[in-house]
Structure 1
């Protein structure tokens, strides 16, 4: 019985020490990159030379408690593309351990809130794993306005994260969006596709 009490006491002491240590900012700064690498390990996805799609959200604009809003993830070889990013979709991508550093771009089919509301969270999830440039966002007329609005709303957050974590984790050179308007009325675009 004494041995059991002694082992329990040692275990409780170790748990207490770990609990205290992980609350110290310099230790958090050392642990965070390791945790991100562990969490961002590749999900169990199809072969790298395949083309696949995954529905990561299908709820209505009014939402649902059990589903995320509109989102489809397309994987083409080693690259990932996101088509729409409604509320809760980014959480699903994280839960499924999708390698966010492989996301190349986002395509917004239209600018309703249930198709864009998780764009800021997707931006953060792709920025922190060291995205090399701004997140490309393709969309209809108005995509520049939407991305600029997100950038203005989150501008302070970008700087705070960079100040806290530094350029290794949150580099300012790749923060933000690169909006690209798709003009469906442009006949030259349609001719190129023929």
Structure 2
């Protein structure tokens, strides 16, 4: 239901991001105009996904697909409906659920269709403004699609605006730093190290201090 998605972003997401929070966007020219592409970002808040989707024009939203754990977003009927029809999520099984088959298959299919994936390589939301080690699932996906660009995006501020476990939004300016795209380099460890370095560089670009 693309029209419902557009209404949600026009009347809910955009007012919250632009009025309640405020956004400083750095290097918007580095954002991909079309897919296939993968956006990777640090993950501290429920607002991370709407913010990243909001970087694209409304007309492009049906082609932007966040990746999320199926056991979280599909545990109730109403949340499954919202995840599917409004957020356009691709659900994947967490590691260890062998009954689901190849968890990367729906992601590969989406890239083959020319879609833009939103991927949080830390795997889950962490403590406010603290990055954890990146999971290697990203490398396994990109190895299958070595010509697909991977765009690192570092966000700062959302971990304080709406941290894990807090349903209320606190007015706080968010900074979004978009990095130069990465490509598969033929080695999993080398690729993951390059992704970590890009995040580190983007964070240093903002010269952000530690949160108290």
Instruction: Report TM bin, short chain.
Output: under 0.3
Structure holding more helix per residue: 1
Q: Which has the larger radius of gyration?
A: 1
> What TM-score, normalized to structure 1?
0.28
Instruction: Report the TM-score, using the length of structure 2 for normalisation.
Output: 0.26
